Amino acid sequence: MSTDPDRPSRPWLLRWAVLGLIVAGGVIQIVMSAYYLSVAHAPQPHDLPVGFVAAPADAAKVQAAIDKGGQFAAQPYPSADAMIAAIRTKDIFGGLDVTTTPPHLYVASAAGTAASNALKTAFTSVTQQQTADRVQQLSAAGQPVPPATVQQLTTPPAITDVVALPPDDRTGASIGLLVQALAIGATVASIGLGRIGARTRPSLLRGVGHTATLLVYAAASAAAVLGAAHAFGVVPAGTDSHLFRAFLLVSVAITGSVAGLVALIGAAGSFLGTAYFVVGVPISGATVLPEFLPPVARVLGQVLPTGAGATLVRDSLYFPAAPVTQPMIVLSLYAGVGILLVLITNALANRSRRVSLLRLTADAEEEPAREDAPASP
């Protein structure tokens, strides 16, 4: 009986394959939906560092009002100038000065619009509660409530944006977009170079050439992304050198780590680049600030190159005085370990190949000697 070659010989196998695909797809969707929603469906600040300036008699009461609920961690400052300096170094995300009338709120929208909006809402409530307490005290003492005090109940505090976002980046979304652009380019480059390198014999020289190409590509990628950021007006004046170095380190970290894993385990290592997007981007702090993520997601996000990169890029753009030691160490480790893997795997593969060739040569030389040897009686 003839059979059609285009018709599957085992239709039951095809049906099980389709069913397996549907089930696997459903499970992946459930897992990823749960993951995304668990870290970003309702972000709230967790011990967000903020400051306040208050008279010594009011300091404890103001701090208790700010710390209530666990969303903020308040720190006292002796003056508004000291508090502003702490905002510029990103030690705190904002602060309230209750020694003035009306109270004055200081924020840094460049540190994250979610943080500045949360501060505006929470600190307005704090100042209104303070004014309400004064009204209650006066009423309890039988004294008339001055009109100015009543007006304070309905007047929000004056607000100063210490580190504002550029007009062309009102939502602050550029950080995430720039980091994603770097990550896409770096992942594609490392996978492509791995495939090109597979066509040549492994050697330390090949590993050096691979590494040099990755570094040159990273520099070109950093320059391209910096040019795009300039074109869309999201680069503050005087930050070009800081920003280029940040872009370069992010690109090398992602490119080097993916290339290193590809060199170690083969093409399957390229899935590391996918993991950076699927797992790393939602918890990177680029769109949802680290201080608004659950504790585990916050820590994990900052030890991945996407999270460390987002922090480094944000601080390079808007907070040049802020310390960036931690993200630089994380990115440097990814870059250094990845490049070492590329060099070591190429050198060891070449060494193994030389040993195999030497053994084959030795065996070939011994074979004629065995054939010429006289047979034993």
Write the pLDDT tens digit of every residue in 213-271: 889 988 998 999 999 888 888 887 778 888 899 999 999 999 889 888 888 887 777 78
pLDDT exceeds 50 at position 352: no
**pLDDT higher than threshold 80 for residue 366:** no
> How many residues would you count in the chain?
377
pLDDT for residue 73: 92
Spatial contact of 230 and 307, defined as CB atoms under 8 Å apart: no
Q: Quote the pLDDT of residue 95.
A: 92
d(CA 225, CA 123): 37
pLDDT score for 355: 44
What percent of the chain has a predicted confidence (pLDDT) above 90? Answer: 25
270 touches 277 (CB < 8 A): no
Greater confidence (145 vs 62) lies with: 62
Identify which of 90, 2, 154 has the alpha carbon closest to the alpha carbon of residue 315.
90
Cα gap 359→142, rounded to integer Å: 104
Q: What is the dihedral of CA 93, 176, 288, 310, to 10 degrees?
A: -60
265 φ/ψ angles, rounded to the nearest 5 degrees: -120, 0
| Structure-token pair, residue 346 | 């190429």
Do residues 316 and 245 make contact, with C-beta atoms less than 8 angstroms apart? Answer: yes
Residue 13 has, within 13 A of its CA and on its CB side, a CA count of 4
* Rounded mean pLDDT, 123-141: 70
pLDDT, residue 235, reads 83
Q: How confident is residue 286, by pLDDT bands cut at 50, 70 and 90?
A: confident
Helix count and strand count (H, E) for the chain: 12, 5
**pLDDT at residue 18, rounded to an integer:** 81
Residue among 49, 181, 34 nearest 112 (CA): 49
Work out the average pLDDT over 185-212.
73
Q: In angstroms, rounded to a whole number, what is the distance separating the alpha carbons of residues 219 and 186?
A: 11
Q: Rounded mean pLDDT of 78-105?
A: 91
Q: Which range has the worst mean pLDDT, 53-62, 187-196, 311-320?
A: 187-196
On the 0-12 / 13-18 / 19+ scale of CB atoms within 10 A, 246 is buried
pLDDT at 23 exceeding the cut of 80: yes
The pLDDT score that the predictor gives to residue 354 is 46
pLDDT at 277: 80
CA gap 182, 258 in Å, rounded: 13
Higher pLDDT, 194 or 271: 271
